[in-house]
Structure 1
Amino acid sequence: MDRETPDWIRLDKALSIEAEKGFTDLQGNQYRFSEFLCLNFRQNPPPRTPNSDCTRWYDLANEYANYSQLSVLRRKILVFKTRQFIHQLRLILETSSEPPAPKLPRIVPVSEKQPSLENITLDKPLNTLPGLDQKKSESLKLLELYTVKDILFYYPRDHIDYARQISITNLNPGETVTIIGTVKRCNCFSSPKNKNLTIFELILRDNTGEIKLNRFFAGSRFNNRGWQERQKRFYPVGAIVAASGLVKQNKYGLTLDNPEIEVLDSLGDNIESLKIGRVLPVYPLTEGVPADLIRQTVITCLNSIKTIKDPLPISIRNEYGLIKLKDAINNIHFPENPELLAHARRRLVFDEFFYLQLGFLQRRQEQKLTQKSAIFIPQGQLIENFNELLPFALTNAQKRVINEILEDLTLETPMNRLVQGDVGAGKTIVAVFAILAALQSGYQAALMAPTEVLAEQHYRKLVSWFNLLHLPVELLTGSTKIGKRREIHRQLETGELPLLVGTHALIQDPVNFNRLGLVVIDEQHRFGVHQRAKLLAKGQSPHVLTMTATPIPRTLALTLHGDLDVSQIDELPPGRQPIQTTALTGKERTQAYDLIRREVAQGRQVYIIFPMIEESEKLDVRAAVEEHKKLSEIVFPDFTIGLLHGRMSSVEKDEVLTDFRDNKNQIIVSTTVIEVGVDVPNATVMLIENAERFGLSQLHQLRGRVGRGSHKSYCLLMSSSKTPDARQRLSVLEQSQDGFFISEMDLRFRGPGTVLGTRQSGLPDFALASLVEDQEVLELARTAAEKIIMADKNMQGISSLKQELEQRYQKLMGGEILT
């Protein structure tokens, strides 16, 4: 292979085949897959590769050297990231050329522009600073900025790199740049079509070409001829001008969008602007707060950085290569170069993660010392009887997780454990062992699910098992009739009822347990922080077992549940067949319908899922209600088709699901209410309309409704989107059945808030940190926090760190109990 130019096709083909063959480190004619990749990335990267990409290029060589030692999940993620990297690098190299560096003026560092102000302390109110009148300080209060410390720790949400200075001929659309040129012509005039719009036009020329820049001013005050003539005098022909902005293509050629412009005395003159030629901070704003007000206030306050004390121990800073806090604050606002900006961001992201993890660990430590729970009997008659009744053998993963849970329950420290398991991994059975341990120890248990469908599904399973053990179980939902509800309340208070299954109805005030010892929460991320806390408050420090069928990536688990112990059921029961998954376009709909007809003819059943329940003018989606009618009358008139959606009553839903379970309906048309809680082994086809509108984890959940029996099953992802991103996302489902890998990919594609599907998820409000981009820093911060707690559980010897923790953790989490 040519050392100068990689064979992109061979690289991409090797990665593609490795993915298709299950990430087994395939043996080729000469090399194994990992050896081939390692050799390629050990060669020099292509010419003109950006510095950051060069570093990544060589890093990949090291990662593929260790490929054989990685788990399948880690191999999948590495291959996926490599394909993305190669695609992006190839686009950069094949569509751009490195411009020559022109001789340009010196940029004055912001530090040289700071006003000389004495005695600016961190707690000084902003309204007492020079240059900040009452109106400006009131504007800053809209962003909750009151003191010097507030403004210094108000980080930019982004930076625009105007520091890249290039020649006019080397401009490319989409880049942010600075150019230097001489004025060829300047004009300023009112628009002939709109008298309230003034157009400023400037044509610059350098030794490589020329460019026309425009700025637009709306308002009658700019229509004044005297004002327009003054603008023209600012930019006389032959004057040297620096301009910064985003390069855009218009019908006249390339230009800079709404550029920042400054006249220079000569090519050797300094650029004084706060914007031109530098890395420009972009702050989160609100109406009435201009960006320049934030920037100017930050500059005024930068002198006080020297009074900032760094609470992070020097040993931690040195071990993890972190710059000082005051240097990080200085360079997150006005970095002198992109490298300093990267160091500043890394330090501040580390701090955000570190104090969160330290808070989690300290809270867990305090819980162990202050909260006492009931000690359960891990072995007893109920568990022995249940083991004998089970008609199947538990998987090794289930046995391991059950042992971890039962060991927790023998301690007086409250159990706080999250059980993650893929669709069909058998989490409910695991929870039953915990429930039986509570019951045989004389305590009550509660199981809360987010929907009535799922709560009813749990109730049916538990009743079928507990009837054999002669144990009563009741179901409490919003649909429970008043008389039955009162009887349940009474039995709970007397202790007659050992186990209650329900929805949010469990956390209503009249529900009082006699002796609640265990709380099981299913799909816990669908409940809000306060909802989970209210259920726990119904007992005296009960043990808590949370479950999710949506595997959460480790970064999300650490951020949401840093004080939980996490168990993974990473093994499916024997007999579960892989589900053949295919992404289809509208042109292939006939094939999908033919498959449905064949499966129904063989006695099987089908799900057809839609993202909405009625037509929307804004979203071009197939609505379940409308399509049910079309499918029943036109497409499948010979089949019985049921309809299920969230606006139906509980009785109506139950009737539809019962008919489907009993095979009275061959097809069920549904919204995502079918996602969890429905178990029909005879269903073999899942057709999902507008699949691009769902998250990957949600699609995986839906897919898990089929493949539950002994017959081959199919999942058809119908998509109308032609975007590469949509196609790439759906291909993840085609290639993988691994819920943990899919959740990692979902996190990368959509971000954490969207993956969790609710703003009540308890996600901290980070100022800088990204759970997608900063996974490595999160892991380092967790390790550092663990070292601190192990060395000094109460942090008595590091009072400054403890004080900072109290302030940061309370602000980040709002004092909430996450779990």
Structure 2
Amino acid sequence: MSTTNLPDWVRLQQALSVEADRGFCDLEGKQFRFSQFLQQSLASTVPPHSESAVQERWQSTAQKFGGYADLTLNQRQHLVAETRRLLYSTQKDYRQATDPPPKPRKPATQKLKATPQKLSLDLPILSLSGIGPKSAQKLEKLGLFSVRDLLFYYPRDHIDYARQVSIRDLEEGATVTLVATVRRVNCFSSPRNPKLTIFELVVKDATGQLKLSRFYAGNRFRSRGWQEQQKRLYPPGAVVAASGLVKSSKYGITLDNPDLEVLNHSGDKIESMVIGRVVPIYALTEGVTPDLVRRAVVAALPAAKSLRDPLPEGLRQQNNLTDLPSAIADVHFPPDSDALDRARHRLIFDEFFYLQLGMLVRRQQQRQTQESVPLSVHGELLERFYEVLPFTLTGAQKRVVQDILADLQSTQPMNRLVQGDVGSGKTVVAVIALLSAIQSGYQTALMAPTEVLAEQHYHKLVEWFNQLHLPVDLLTGSTKAAKRRQIAEQLKTGELPLLVGTHALIQDNVEFDRLGLAVIDEQHRFGVQQRALLQQKGQHPHVLTMTATPIPRTLALTLHGDLDVSQIDELPPGRQAIQTTMLTTRDRAHAYDLMRREIAQGRQIYIVLPLVEESEKLDLRSAVQEHDRLQTTIFPNFQVGLLHGRLTSAEKEEVISQFREHTLHILVSTTVVEVGVDIPNATVMLIEHADRFGLSQLHQLRGRVGRGAHQSYCLLMNSSKTETARQRLAVLEQSQDGFFIAEMDLRFRGPGEVLGTRQSGLPDLALASLVDDQETLELARQAAEKVLEKDSTLGAWPLMQSELNLRYQKLMGGAIFT
């Protein structure tokens, strides 16, 4: 039986850490799944010089990983934590057995000072001075097992108590520290609430006097003995330092629940980890106090000096970055706010840099390993299409077409995202790409997320393809069996050059003869796996993805850093700006009058609601009830239709056809009309409870009108009384620019809500903000590109390569460099 040396234990700890970071999903690596790797590693190795009980525990743990796949999430969490404790305790025992005995030393006088001996980053938390078994067990709840874990457990915020002021200079809302002399002290039980104990301190400095109060809830603080003890801690005449938030009270200005420390004299050094400092605020869990985490971090900080910086000095200088050991130390306990800013800048840069580096390496590897056949971008088919096209492409469309055609001529598969605002003309750009593939002898596919949108694309493409004498077909969940068999046969023989559809395109029985190009519309509505399944229908086909939901550049770089991105940032000429107005319920009658005037001129109306049916929990109008009310009470002389997601595909198509053919004057709908419904005659869009929607989604809904030559209107019914809701909706009143609106949406709601948490794919960033740190993201992207230009393998920077592998494993579940 072999033995395990210390580096191997570190490797096992890293594997356990990555599995925990990725949600205990039994990660799949290059050769083994996580559970297989742990089982084999533990079964084949035991620590040297260990007792039989330790060996049995080692083997027992290995057997447990054999059944890891069958464990519940809670059981997996418990097993991973148990294994980490086993490794650290065994490692500690091994060190004690093999290291020479330490020289006798004086006992530590300061409780919070770290162990004087040189700290290893991989030592267990138990090895730190002041951290006993119970404290270590509590810290494990936060996923903190080693010294390294503590150093990289960044604070979620800081409070700046470093500014020391006089009582006279206190300003409400500031966080400050003051040093003053105690005049009076009292501690007593509240006469109104016996369970509440009040501690009062009156202090004075050369500029004024101040009353400070602290409150203690609980029976144990009612004891006269405890209260007298508190009074003895702060006797009159003692000098105290107090830190807190300045606020106003009925007694005047004061500090809110201040932290206090008694000093020997006014110039004495403050020993507290809070008072007079920039104080770190950590994410906590039940049973773990802020003071415990701070004490553990203080004890671990000397180990930061042993960190080796993966970024070369030249790169740090070019981007004004402090070194890693200083950044780690100062992000926890900075001497001042400037040091904290420098530390945050460095660590935020790191998060973005390795994210962008990983994406660029992935794109590079795809290009090196995948090869596609170059397509012909010149030919009779494209020339005929330009002739039948009833309009001229905008400058933005021409620019994006050039990007696409350049990609199609390459032997590397195209992987391009086209962003375009509502009505910017993405479809015609996609058709040019489709025709390039078809005239080169390849088949093509266009996949949309809903049947409504797929059918809309199909009808538009049929108009163009009929003029070119090209067949096109539609495959959705509603397609009849006989039609499915016909489509399948024509795909296999190569007779069908273009198939439009929904998720039905990625079913196993859909087989293309020669798929050369896949176009995916509204790509953010598909999962990564679904997009990959469509690509697998061919031999490395070119892929063009499109979205009418503008994504701010920071999100595009974060989510699609491995894609080439083009933007259609220009609308076709002749489009009138949509008059957008925010309304309240008092304005409803005016809105209905506008609708009647528009209908009298032959126009049509959308009314959009967030719910299909009434909810007992939400006081919102619903589509079904509103449709009945409008038809019977408000617009009895007009035809009012109803569209929502619970209708069958045939029922949806019937309603849309009636609206398209002007049989219906008003269409009451849920957000199913957000994409895919193109009725140029519709001129009014009323959105009920507009405050419930994101700005980008409202902009999408607004884009259903204004598609013809007539002046159009979007009415935003605001049911909220909050100032934030009013400010959000005012953005739509002031702007028609989807990219600006998306940026504002990002600022108001954050990336998770903008994208939707289910499909967002957002990486877990500890410090970086996609809203506030956009400039740093751009710098990191540029730095990553320059690094790969110099050495695409990162062989010149082994520490950087190792760090990228570790971070990429946590984000993506596998090593990027073997």
Q: TM-score, normalised on structure 1?
A: 0.81
Match of residue 36 from structure 2: none
How many angstroms does 1:421 deviate by?
Answer: 1.0
Q: Quote the Cα distance in structure 2 between the aligned partners of 1:256 and 1:482.
A: 75
SS of alignment partner, residue 412 of structure 2:
coil
SS of alignment partner, residue 673 of structure 1:
helix
Relative to structure 1, the CA distance from residue 534 to residue 187 in structure 2 (aligned partners, 3 Å threshold; closer, same or farther) is farther
How many angstroms does 1:546 deviate by?
Answer: 0.9
How many angstroms does 1:423 deviate by?
Answer: 0.7
How many angstroms does 1:492 deviate by?
Answer: 4.0
Give identity over the alignment, percent: 67
Q: Quote the Cα distance in structure 1 between the aligned partners of 2:167 and 2:347.
A: 36
Report Cα offsets for 1:743-795 as digits up to 9, x if no partner: 22222333222222344222221111112111111111111111111122222
Given that residues 526 and 761 in structure 1 are in contact (C-alpha distance below 8 angstroms), is that contact kept between their aligned partners in structure 2?
Answer: no
Q: Quote the Cα distance in structure 2 between the aligned partners of 1:485 and 1:135.
A: 65
How many angstroms does 1:332 deviate by?
Answer: 0.6
Given that residues 111 and 130 in structure 2 are in contact (C-alpha distance below 8 angstroms), is that contact kept between their aligned partners in structure 1?
Answer: no
Match of residue 267 from structure 1: 266
SS of alignment partner, residue 731 of structure 1:
helix
Q: Which residues in structure 2 correspond to 1:87-486 (within 5 Å)?
A: 114-192=113-191, 194-481=193-480, 484-485=483-484
Given that residues 364 and 563 in structure 1 are in contact (C-alpha distance below 8 angstroms), is that contact kept between their aligned partners in structure 2?
Answer: yes
Q: How many residue pairs are counted as aligned between the two chains? A: 707
Report Cα offsets for 1:201-255 as digits up to 9, x if no partner: 4344444444444433344333433223322322223333222223344455444
SS of alignment partner, residue 668 of structure 2:
strand
Relative to structure 1, the CA distance from residue 222 to residue 637 in structure 2 (aligned partners, 3 Å threshold; closer, same or farther) is same
The one-letter amino acid of 2:341's match is A
Q: Quote the Cα distance in structure 2 between the aligned partners of 1:786 and 1:117.
A: 42
Match of residue 665 from structure 1: 664
Match of residue 101 from structure 1: none
Stretch of structure 1 that moved more, 273-282 or 357-366:
357-366
Relative to structure 1, the CA distance from residue 661 to residue 176 in structure 2 (aligned partners, 3 Å threshold; closer, same or farther) is same
Given that residues 165 and 178 in structure 2 are in contact (C-alpha distance below 8 angstroms), is that contact kept between their aligned partners in structure 1?
Answer: yes
How many angstroms does 1:489 deviate by?
Answer: 4.7
Given that residues 582 and 717 in structure 2 are in contact (C-alpha distance below 8 angstroms), is that contact kept between their aligned partners in structure 1?
Answer: yes
Stretch of structure 1 that moved more, 168-177 or 121-130:
168-177
Report Cα offsets for 1:571-611 as digits up to 9, x if no partner: 22222111112222333332222211111111111112223
The one-letter amino acid of 2:300's match is C
How many angstroms does 1:664 deviate by?
Answer: 1.6
Match of residue 64 from structure 2: none
SS of alignment partner, residue 566 of structure 1:
strand
Match of residue 3 from structure 2: none
Stretch of structure 1 that moved more, 296-305 or 142-151:
142-151
Q: Quote the Cα distance in structure 1 between the aligned partners of 2:549 and 2:543.
A: 18
The one-letter amino acid of 1:461's match is K
Given that residues 180 and 266 in structure 2 are in contact (C-alpha distance below 8 angstroms), is that contact kept between their aligned partners in structure 1?
Answer: no
Gaps of 5+ in 2: 1-109
Relative to structure 1, the CA distance from residue 476 to residue 322 in structure 2 (aligned partners, 3 Å threshold; closer, same or farther) is same
Given that residues 186 and 202 in structure 1 are in contact (C-alpha distance below 8 angstroms), is that contact kept between their aligned partners in structure 2?
Answer: yes
Report Cα offsets for 1:10-64 as digits up to 9, x if no partner: xxxxxxxxxxxxxxxxxxxxxxxxxxxxxxxxxxxxxxxxxxxxxxxxxxxxxxx
SS of alignment partner, residue 726 of structure 1:
helix
Given that residues 242 and 275 in structure 2 are in contact (C-alpha distance below 8 angstroms), is that contact kept between their aligned partners in structure 1?
Answer: yes
Given that residues 805 and 815 in structure 2 are in contact (C-alpha distance below 8 angstroms), is that contact kept between their aligned partners in structure 1?
Answer: no
Q: Quote the Cα distance in structure 2 between the aligned partners of 1:295 and 1:797.
A: 38
Match of residue 576 from structure 2: 577
Relative to structure 1, the CA distance from residue 428 to residue 256 in structure 2 (aligned partners, 3 Å threshold; closer, same or farther) is same
Q: Which residues in structure 2 correspond to 1:699-710 (within 5 Å)?
A: 699-710=698-709
Relative to structure 1, the CA distance from residue 447 to residue 303 in structure 2 (aligned partners, 3 Å threshold; closer, same or farther) is same
How many angstroms does 1:139 deviate by?
Answer: 2.9
SS of alignment partner, residue 780 of structure 1:
helix
Match of residue 764 from structure 2: 765
Match of residue 653 from structure 1: 652
SS of alignment partner, residue 136 of structure 1:
helix
How many angstroms does 1:174 deviate by?
Answer: 3.1
Relative to structure 1, the CA distance from residue 228 to residue 532 in structure 2 (aligned partners, 3 Å threshold; closer, same or farther) is farther
The one-letter amino acid of 2:706's match is G
How many angstroms does 1:379 deviate by?
Answer: 2.5
Relative to structure 1, the CA distance from residue 257 to residue 793 in structure 2 (aligned partners, 3 Å threshold; closer, same or farther) is same
Q: Quote the Cα distance in structure 2 between the aligned partners of 1:202 and 1:603.
A: 77
SS of alignment partner, residue 678 of structure 1:
coil
Relative to structure 1, the CA distance from residue 250 to residue 541 in structure 2 (aligned partners, 3 Å threshold; closer, same or farther) is farther
The one-letter amino acid of 1:767's match is A
Gaps of 5+ in 1: 1-110
The one-letter amino acid of 2:656's match is L
The one-letter amino acid of 1:394's match is L
The one-letter amino acid of 1:657's match is I
How many angstroms does 1:509 deviate by?
Answer: 4.2
Given that residues 112 and 130 in structure 2 are in contact (C-alpha distance below 8 angstroms), is that contact kept between their aligned partners in structure 1?
Answer: no
Report Cα offsets for 1:685-732 as digits up to 9, x if no partner: 112222233222222211111111111111122224444433333332
Report Cα offsets for 1:360-392 as digits up to 9, x if no partner: 222222222211123222233433333333233
SS of alignment partner, residue 275 of structure 2:
coil
The one-letter amino acid of 2:808's match is Y
Match of residue 5 from structure 1: none
Stretch of structure 1 that moved more, 631-640 or 557-566:
631-640
Q: Quote the Cα distance in structure 2 between the aligned partners of 1:487 and 1:263.
A: 87
The one-letter amino acid of 1:532's match is R
Stretch of structure 1 that moved more, 800-809 or 619-628:
619-628
Match of residue 562 from structure 1: 561
Match of residue 806 from structure 2: 807
The one-letter amino acid of 1:764's match is P
Match of residue 633 from structure 2: 634
How many angstroms does 1:196 deviate by?
Answer: 4.3
How many angstroms does 1:482 deviate by?
Answer: 5.0
Relative to structure 1, the CA distance from residue 607 to residue 232 in structure 2 (aligned partners, 3 Å threshold; closer, same or farther) is same
SS of alignment partner, residue 571 of structure 1:
coil
Relative to structure 1, the CA distance from residue 178 to residue 702 in structure 2 (aligned partners, 3 Å threshold; closer, same or farther) is same
Relative to structure 1, the CA distance from residue 135 to residue 616 in structure 2 (aligned partners, 3 Å threshold; closer, same or farther) is farther
Given that residues 186 and 232 in structure 1 are in contact (C-alpha distance below 8 angstroms), is that contact kept between their aligned partners in structure 2?
Answer: yes
Given that residues 114 and 129 in structure 2 are in contact (C-alpha distance below 8 angstroms), is that contact kept between their aligned partners in structure 1?
Answer: no
Match of residue 792 from structure 1: 791
Match of residue 602 from structure 2: 603
Stretch of structure 1 that moved more, 560-569 or 501-510:
501-510
Relative to structure 1, the CA distance from residue 531 to residue 250 in structure 2 (aligned partners, 3 Å threshold; closer, same or farther) is farther
Q: Quote the Cα distance in structure 2 between the aligned partners of 1:654 and 1:253.
A: 68
Stretch of structure 1 that moved more, 259-268 or 510-519:
510-519
SS of alignment partner, residue 231 of structure 2:
helix
Match of residue 86 from structure 1: none
Report Cα offsets for 1:261-288 as digits up to 9, x if no partner: 2222321222111111111111122333
Given that residues 529 and 816 in structure 1 are in contact (C-alpha distance below 8 angstroms), is that contact kept between their aligned partners in structure 2?
Answer: no
Q: Quote the Cα distance in structure 1 between the aligned partners of 2:428 and 2:728.
A: 32
Q: Quote the Cα distance in structure 2 between the aligned partners of 1:386 and 1:204.
A: 85
Relative to structure 1, the CA distance from residue 293 to residue 574 in structure 2 (aligned partners, 3 Å threshold; closer, same or farther) is same
The one-letter amino acid of 2:551's match is I
Given that residues 114 and 303 in structure 1 are in contact (C-alpha distance below 8 angstroms), is that contact kept between their aligned partners in structure 2?
Answer: no
Given that residues 115 and 129 in structure 2 are in contact (C-alpha distance below 8 angstroms), is that contact kept between their aligned partners in structure 1?
Answer: no
Match of residue 79 from structure 1: none
Report Cα offsets for 1:513-563 as digits up to 9, x if no partner: 443322211111222333333333333322111111122222221111112
Given that residues 417 and 545 in structure 2 are in contact (C-alpha distance below 8 angstroms), is that contact kept between their aligned partners in structure 1?
Answer: yes
Stretch of structure 1 that moved more, 337-346 or 612-621:
612-621
Q: Quote the Cα distance in structure 1 between the aligned partners of 2:606 and 2:253.
A: 52
Given that residues 161 and 243 in structure 2 are in contact (C-alpha distance below 8 angstroms), is that contact kept between their aligned partners in structure 1?
Answer: yes
Q: Quote the Cα distance in structure 2 between the aligned partners of 1:183 and 1:507.
A: 76
Q: Quote the Cα distance in structure 1 between the aligned partners of 2:488 and 2:253.
A: 73
Given that residues 162 and 177 in structure 2 are in contact (C-alpha distance below 8 angstroms), is that contact kept between their aligned partners in structure 1?
Answer: yes
Match of residue 543 from structure 1: 542
Q: Quote the Cα distance in structure 1 between the aligned partners of 2:670 and 2:239.
A: 63
Q: Quote the Cα distance in structure 1 between the aligned partners of 2:596 and 2:770.
A: 44
Report Cα offsets for 1:304-325 as digits up to 9, x if no partner: 1111111111111111211111
Q: Quote the Cα distance in structure 1 between the aligned partners of 2:632 and 2:306.
A: 76
Q: Quote the Cα distance in structure 2 between the aligned partners of 1:284 and 1:340.
A: 21
The one-letter amino acid of 2:609's match is F
